[in-house]
Structure 1
Amino acid sequence: MKNPFSSKLSKFSFKLSKFPSGKQWKHFFNALSKKEKTLFFALTLIALASLSFLSFNFYTSHTIAIAKNGGTFSEGVLGQPKFLNPLYLSSQDIDRDIVEIIFSGIMKYDENGKLINDLAESYEIKDESKTFEFVLKNAFWHDGTPVTSDDIAFTVGLIQNPDYQSPLRIKLTGILVEPLSSNKIAFKLPKTYPGFLETLTFKVLPKHIFKDLPYNGFPLTLASKEYLVGSGPFKIDKIEQDSSGFVKKITLNKNKDYFLKEPYLDKVEFVFFKNERDLSSALSMKDLDGASLASGKLGIGLKDYALGLPRYFALFFNLNKENSFQDKGLRQAISLAINKAKIVKEVFSNKGQVADSPALPLFFGLNDLAEKKEFNKEEASKLFDQLDFKINETTGKREATKLKEPIFIFTKALTLKSEGQEVSKLQECLAKFPDVYPGGTISGYFGSQTRVAVIKFQEKFKAEILTPAGLTKATGDVKQMTREKLNEICFPGGEETTSFEITITTSDQYPLLDIAESIKNDLEALSLNVEINAVSLSELQINVLSKRNFELLLFGEALGSIPDPFTFWHSSQKDYPGLNIGGYVSKQADEFLTKAREAQTEQERNKNLEAFQEVVAKDLPAIFLVRPDYIYTLSSNLKGFAMQKITEPSKRFSTIENWYKKTKRVWK
């Protein structure tokens, strides 16, 4: 049967001929009930949201965010710049930070603290590792002048010249530099030194700017654009000071022609503060992007980076001077009394590790010490007692009990007509016995009265003088047995008790002063009298380190990416300006240090360093305390920071050309 509706349906079309007009939509909405209108709008919003989500999801899944040029990085700094000159870097981190960004070296460090090429394009090691030849990259100074091998040779010459008094001189002494062409240079060493590449991280100065300056006119602080010309990723724009001369801000612009790559950031600012409170506030308020503070993270949007650093703090005994600490037993007792884990926890907020060796085995992947002495208060107390550092019940403090040296010792044979000091002392001694020498005359002349007195003395102590000598009658002559009895009775040595005070010399700044306070508390808990001599860094350098003027010194030492403790512990470095500050001398240690420095393979070097650290652990010339991490706080808006290990704080900027704040998305 034929469907009566088929002809009508075949003529009906579901195709939308045109989009409904506004009037039609109005009639449509008027035709809907209130519930239908609500449902319609809800479904419409859901459809739009779904479409937006699907579009966004499609976009994000098919694109990636990459760094984009632009933005300013602001670093907060305490204090003031001092020596913005690669030749005269001070102990201040800020000087090193700015120099790191402005200047370049032949070599540099990557994110893991490993050496990589900087100005060097490539290099060859020849002549049994005594000649290093480099080919340079096509680099330019900030003023557009090409960087050449002459610039490197010129910089090395300045460093090696004693008139310039550069602290870098000791690292380059005895090394010959030979430019082979404008972009090739050779370094010739007097003997093999595999760690030499690390020496070449020094920053290069432009010869065309400094060549005509005499050493006495060479600026310590390169405080103008005329001198602050480097080849690094950023260049000086301006230095802002207030009316008192306080440097408020140093601004650096990107070096668009930087030989590695154009930095993403447009500017880097160093903003200077007079106190940590103001700096912390600025960081918390997001006026800054980064800072290095003892307090670490300060708020939301900030992230702490704990960077491994090959440095340690130690308590050095002055072995150059005659003092109580020449006794290894006393050094061991003090070592057992110090709670190193407490220092890590309380001073460094657990951002660091206990140190037991100057070779930092855990940092460099060496085998650890075969045996380590841990903190043990009870054992330390027993050892102090055994060493006769006992507690005075009246004062509650430990005192040193020592054998008292006699004020005089009879050494000569005396008889009639002898004269001199020994005769006077003899008469003085005999006069203590009225029954022996009733006259008591002290003339310095051995006469008959003195002889009679000696006879009486010998008879008085017959059992100790005459009998052992096989004599039955006194002789009146002063010989060995008589001298021994005179020494025993008249000028005895015996024991003497003296107060015992430990003085720890260190810096008046964090963290050294805080570590010293922790050590003081530990030692005072064992009834020791401890004083802290806290001085400025400049006084520490001028009056303490250079003169070796200390009893115990709390100080830090830093190794490089290639461990080489030679300069800190070899006996040849015990006199200033050597860095063996405690005066440690050991033939065994010297031998292992020399072998480690001259080793041709990492395995050979590590083997000798492991042997060296065992010798030091046995001799205990210092107490190794802690290896703290370097805490760097950055805004979460900063990207591209990838440092894990650094050799010194300024090296956190070693790859600053990769940092960025702005991003853009590109299709995969």
Structure 2
Amino acid sequence: MQRVFRQGMRNVFRALGFWEKTLIVLVLLIAGGAFFYWMSAIYVANTREIPEYGGRYREGIAGQPRYINPILSQTSDADADLVRLVFSGLYTYDNEGKLKPKIAESSEISEDGKMYTIRLREGVLFHDGTEVTADDIAFTVQAIQNPANKSPLRQNWQTVSVRVTDKYTIVFELRKPYFGFLENLTVGILPKHLWSEISPDRFLLADYNLAPIGCGPYRYVGVTKDSSGDILEYELRAFEKFFDGVPYISQLVLYFYSNEESLIDAYLRKEVSGMQGVSFEGTSRLSERKRTVIREIKTPRSFAVFFNQTSSIALAFSEVREALNWGTNRQMIVADILGGRGTEVVGPFLPFMDEYAADLAWPTYDQEHANRLLEEKGWIRNSEGIREKNGVILNIDLVAPDWPELVKTAELLKVQWQSLGVALLVTIMSPGDLQRNVVQTREYQALLYGEQPMLDQDPYSFWHSSQKRELGLNLALFENAHVDEALSKARETSEREQRHSLYYDFQKIYLSEMPALFLFSPAYLSVTDGSIHGMGIEKMNASSERFGDINQWYIKTKRTWK
């Protein structure tokens, strides 16, 4: 019967003409395509895409690594990036820049705020399979404290003693309470069983500084150098026993370039899939590569004009400082200089910081109000349009480093302040000369410069009167007894609400005196080719913290049933 049916169908098909046969084939193809589309739609509707293990990410970095060592890496972004990938600390930061435990399982702080007892997670392994214990923590701290090792972190640990109470418990004792102490515990842990064999005079020369062994998400595999010994690339592999979740991306290769221009060239040639911390000028070329994704990450870095009232008679008048704050168009500066990739800043706390007092009457751009402030206080325009008062001419000398963004900012300030009747003389200097001959000597009337506190800020270093001179960071030479008292109390209390109250009082006094003119906080720019997913960092203290969630990044995906 089946044979007869098939034979009949063949006879029918032979009897059809060319166009009839073509029509039948087309109908069958359309029906098959529709069925395939329908099944695909059902599959997609009932499944979801999830990360898959595998893939290779290539990132370009401007600079040369030298010390991939957590107690030596603070002066080099290239070093700090690799340290972040290879090492882990007791604490780390989440995607919002908030401190959270990493290797630490629990912590206790004494009532007087001077003793911290930390309990470690058990089963955390170094890349050679050795378990991390409290002895490794103590060894790392002692290595920082040893002056022979020349750690940039030594100053933070000089008044701290460390004591191991059992295999997984360590106690830190401070001479004075300090709310920000836990920030120090983000430093990566050195394996004692390897580094204790190295004498202090060989510490800076040890092979482990370039072939590191840590307990971070990635382990060192190899390095490629050119004929002159410069490092071209570092290869890292996902650590299969990483205690905080094995990274999805199985291989990282970091390529190193002499400067940003070379780095961008490499990205446009598709040698690398991503690069970080690109300048705003550099972004203008990125459109040459399709699918480029630019992520903006907030950092506590900000730029301001710091007023030295002891060097300028005009700036000693409070109405002048207030008028400059009201008469400066920060929105225009952010738009023109940063391409909109930044945040307007009006005071020592950034708007996205928890301590920012949003309800205070911070200055916003109002040129009429600024001019009125000056006129009401007797500042009259002369024949040249520059204001004068009792023989004091409203001219200000501004010094700035020769960074492109700040040079342009100074030029904009000159134009904006001219409309207020202020004559601004701008001097541009190299960063080195500026630091040695101007900043350290405090030889300036107004200084366009940057600050980089932490997101959980301790403004003591920037605004306490003890930091006015020499190497201090109080660039406005600000002095106020009430502020000194508030900042001193704030850094010694572990109660966040009390600290916020003290910082609120500080901001009220700052606003009444306006010893500086804050301008903007530039966004940190993370550039990738669109192949990387899962990057979730929104705020960070330092550029290396962009790797804080790297074990959640992924390239490959698969689908699973809902």
Same fold (TM over 0.5): yes
- Counterpart-to-counterpart distance in 2, 1:245 and 1:385: 65
Task: Please name the residue that 1:309 is paired with.
Answer: 299
Task: Please name the residue that 1:556 is paired with.
Answer: 450
Structure 1 pair 320–103 and aligned structure 2 pair: CA distance change class (3 A): farther
Task: Please name the residue that 1:590 is paired with.
Answer: 484
Q: Secondary structure at the match of 2:353?
A: helix
The question of whether the paired residues in 2 share the 8 Å contact of 1:513 and 1:534 is answered with: no
The question of whether the paired residues in 2 share the 8 Å contact of 1:209 and 1:227 is answered with: no
> How far off its partner does 1:365 sit?
6.3
Work out which of the residue numbers 169, 178, 181 in structure 1 matches 2:163: 178
- Counterpart-to-counterpart distance in 2, 1:533 and 1:387: 32
Deviates more, 1:557-566 or 1:176-185: 557-566
The question of whether the paired residues in 1 share the 8 Å contact of 2:56 and 2:251 is answered with: yes
- Counterpart-to-counterpart distance in 2, 1:520 and 1:247: 44
Task: Please name the residue that 2:360 is paired with.
Answer: 370
Q: Secondary structure at the match of 1:614?
A: helix
Deviates more, 1:321-330 or 1:191-200: 321-330
- Counterpart-to-counterpart distance in 1, 2:67 and 2:466: 30
Work out which of the residue numbers 487, 497, 504 in structure 2 matches 1:610: 504
- Counterpart-to-counterpart distance in 2, 1:389 and 1:89: 52
State yes or no: 1:34 paired with 2:18.
Answer: yes
Structure 1 pair 543–133 and aligned structure 2 pair: CA distance change class (3 A): farther
TM-score by length of 2: 0.87
The question of whether the paired residues in 1 share the 8 Å contact of 2:311 and 2:444 is answered with: no
State yes or no: 1:206 paired with 2:191.
Answer: yes
Structure whose alpha-carbon radius of gyration is higher:
1
Structure 1 pair 564–579 and aligned structure 2 pair: CA distance change class (3 A): same
State yes or no: 1:532 paired with 2:457.
Answer: no
Alignment of 1:472-483 (within 5 A): none
> How far off its partner does 1:92 sit?
4.5
Task: Please name the residue that 1:238 is paired with.
Answer: 222
Task: Please name the residue that 1:629 is paired with.
Answer: 523
The question of whether the paired residues in 2 share the 8 Å contact of 1:73 and 1:289 is answered with: yes
Q: Secondary structure at the match of 1:205?
A: coil
Alignment of 1:467-546 (within 5 A): 500=395, 502-506=397-401, 508-523=402-417, 526=421, 528-536=423-431, 538-539=432-433, 544-546=438-440
State yes or no: 1:45 paired with 2:35.
Answer: no
> How far off its partner does 1:29 sit?
1.8
Deviates more, 1:46-55 or 1:649-658: 46-55
Structure 1 pair 240–382 and aligned structure 2 pair: CA distance change class (3 A): farther
The question of whether the paired residues in 2 share the 8 Å contact of 1:524 and 1:530 is answered with: no
- Counterpart-to-counterpart distance in 2, 1:160 and 1:19: 95
Letter in 2 for 1:147: V
Deviates more, 1:48-57 or 1:297-306: 297-306
The question of whether the paired residues in 2 share the 8 Å contact of 1:505 and 1:550 is answered with: no
State yes or no: 1:289 paired with 2:290.
Answer: no
Work out which of the residue numbers 243, 255, 280 in structure 2 matches 1:271: 255
The question of whether the paired residues in 2 share the 8 Å contact of 1:364 and 1:563 is answered with: no
* Aligned pairs, number: 554
The question of whether the paired residues in 1 share the 8 Å contact of 2:398 and 2:448 is answered with: no
The question of whether the paired residues in 1 share the 8 Å contact of 2:297 and 2:524 is answered with: yes
> How far off its partner does 1:178 sit?
1.1
Structure 1 pair 128–518 and aligned structure 2 pair: CA distance change class (3 A): same
Structure 1 pair 387–19 and aligned structure 2 pair: CA distance change class (3 A): farther
> How far off its partner does 1:302 sit?
2.2
The two structures, once aligned, show a CA RMSD in angstroms of 3.4
Task: Please name the residue that 1:332 is paired with.
Answer: 322
Task: Please name the residue that 2:337 is paired with.
Answer: 347
Letter in 2 for 1:502: D
User: CA-to-partner distance for each residue in 1:76-128, whole Å, 9 max, x for gaps?
Assistant: 22343455443334554333222211221110112222222212122223344
- Counterpart-to-counterpart distance in 2, 1:75 and 1:256: 21
Q: Secondary structure at the match of 1:310?
A: coil
- Counterpart-to-counterpart distance in 1, 2:201 and 2:45: 63
- Counterpart-to-counterpart distance in 2, 1:163 and 1:577: 23
- Counterpart-to-counterpart distance in 2, 1:609 and 1:566: 10
Letter in 2 for 1:332: E
> How far off its partner does 1:500 sit?
5.0
Task: Please name the residue that 1:456 is paired with.
Answer: none
Task: Please name the residue that 2:48 is paired with.
Answer: 64
> How far off its partner does 1:610 sit?
1.6
Structure 1 pair 275–188 and aligned structure 2 pair: CA distance change class (3 A): closer
Structure 1 pair 362–25 and aligned structure 2 pair: CA distance change class (3 A): same
Letter in 1 for 2:28: T
Structure 1 pair 584–203 and aligned structure 2 pair: CA distance change class (3 A): farther
Structure 1 pair 515–147 and aligned structure 2 pair: CA distance change class (3 A): farther
Q: Secondary structure at the match of 1:259?
A: coil
The question of whether the paired residues in 2 share the 8 Å contact of 1:73 and 1:268 is answered with: yes
Q: Secondary structure at the match of 2:214?
A: coil
Identity %: 31
